[in-house]
Amino acid sequence: MVSCPPSLRPSALALASLLLVTPGAAAANQVLVVEDDGGGDFTDLAAAVAAAGDGDILLVKGGSYSNVVVDDKSLVLIGEDHGGETPDLYSVTVRNLSASKRVVVRGFRIDAFVVDPVAMRVEQNDGPVVIEECIFPTAFATHALAVEGSDAVFVVRSELNGLDGVPGLAFPSTLATGAMTAKASHVVVHESVVVGGDGAPGTSSPFLGPLKGLAGAPAIDVEGGSVHLSGGTVKGGDGGANLDVSGSCVGAGPGAAAVRLTGGALLRRLDVALVGGAGGASDASCPGGTDGSDVAVVAGAVEVIPEIARSLEVTGLVREGQAATVSIRGVAGDVVAILYGFQTAGPYVPGLQGALLVGFPPLVVAIGPLPTSEVSIPVTIPANQVVLPAEGFSLFAQPLVAGQTGLGLLGAPSALTIVDSTL
């Protein structure tokens, strides 16, 4: 990545100037600091969510936090490492957002524990939900993310994992699960890694006898609605290995498709690596399983967008006086219009390829032409010069370029939160 070259320094100044003049358009936001070992406004994140008003910002320090439910409330939940520890949430549910409300969840490790087998649920939302730079390890969860009845869900630069099957002993082998399910929803996934669970390997149980290797799970299972994949990698789970038990083969499990479409679902794919899971390994004379496909279309359609994925990333949390970084990834020679806005839109607008997050009317800064495919632009937030409407505000940024097909191409968006220097 190239740091800000001389030709782009005027653009960096334009970005800084933009931040000086735009906060007045933002809603007044209170910032609540959550720290599990004390020192903040709250030690419990669920209590902070309950106390927060519409549009508030929850600054969550590193630590462990219980299950959180956001119900019809605009919030920004932003995690900040504390003592080298990333904030760890047991589970998150976002539900019933009206069209004028939005939720941002950025910078967390999220894994279900005890109460809910799904790490994050997004249910019945008309307003957008943005998940950025989150890790779903799925050590306990059956699925990383389950979306249902939601109009605009953006997953950006995140890692989602399904749960591997476990070979049986006293009980039958457990089934692998996928990383993400989407039902009657519109989901956009940018520059993320999504991996389905691997099937349990074949085994010989002293209680149940020979048990065959089981199938891997699709990384993403879509029933109705649509999913838009741009950049990143989506991989189906591998099948469970075969096993030779005294000359008899228990059977290998098949690998899973990266994406499975049912219920008339639409997949839009743009410069994304879709990898089917490998069939279960062979053992001695016992054959391996069949490999999974990139997409399994049970009932649905696939639209290929012949473009190269573009993206923009801004520093998630910035205090007055600190430097933010705007990182742009595209194609050398791109002239990029960076769209900024306090409101959200989306996801699909006629005449534009990709999914739109930034609402109208956007603020626009032109960047480019890019000297290389990756450029980093530092922008200092001037201390005591940004007139914060309260203790902080959040805005959204997204790149728009002229695509190879002649249509405007939207890249991966990012959310920026600016808070008072004392927080």
The tens digit of pLDDT for each residue in 151-206 reads 999 999 999 999 999 999 889 999 999 999 999 999 999 999 999 999 999 999 98
Burial class (CB in 10 A: 0-12, 13-18, 19+), 312: buried
The tens digit of pLDDT for each residue in 384-417 reads 554 555 678 888 989 999 877 667 899 999 998 8
Residue partners of 26: CB distance under 8 A and separation at least 6: 342, 389, 393, 394, 395
Distances (CA, A) of 215 to 68, 259, 416: 33, 14, 41
Question: Is it true that the peptide bond before 369 is cis, omega within 30 degrees of 0?
Answer: yes
Query: pLDDT category, 338, cuts 50, 70, 90?
Result: confident
pLDDT of 262: 98
Q: What is the CATH number of domain 318-419?
A: 2.20.130
The tens digit of pLDDT for each residue in 356-392 reads 998 877 888 887 788 888 887 776 655 555 455 567 8
Residue 284 and residue 350: Cα distance in Å, rounded?
56
Average confidence (pLDDT) over 244-273: 96
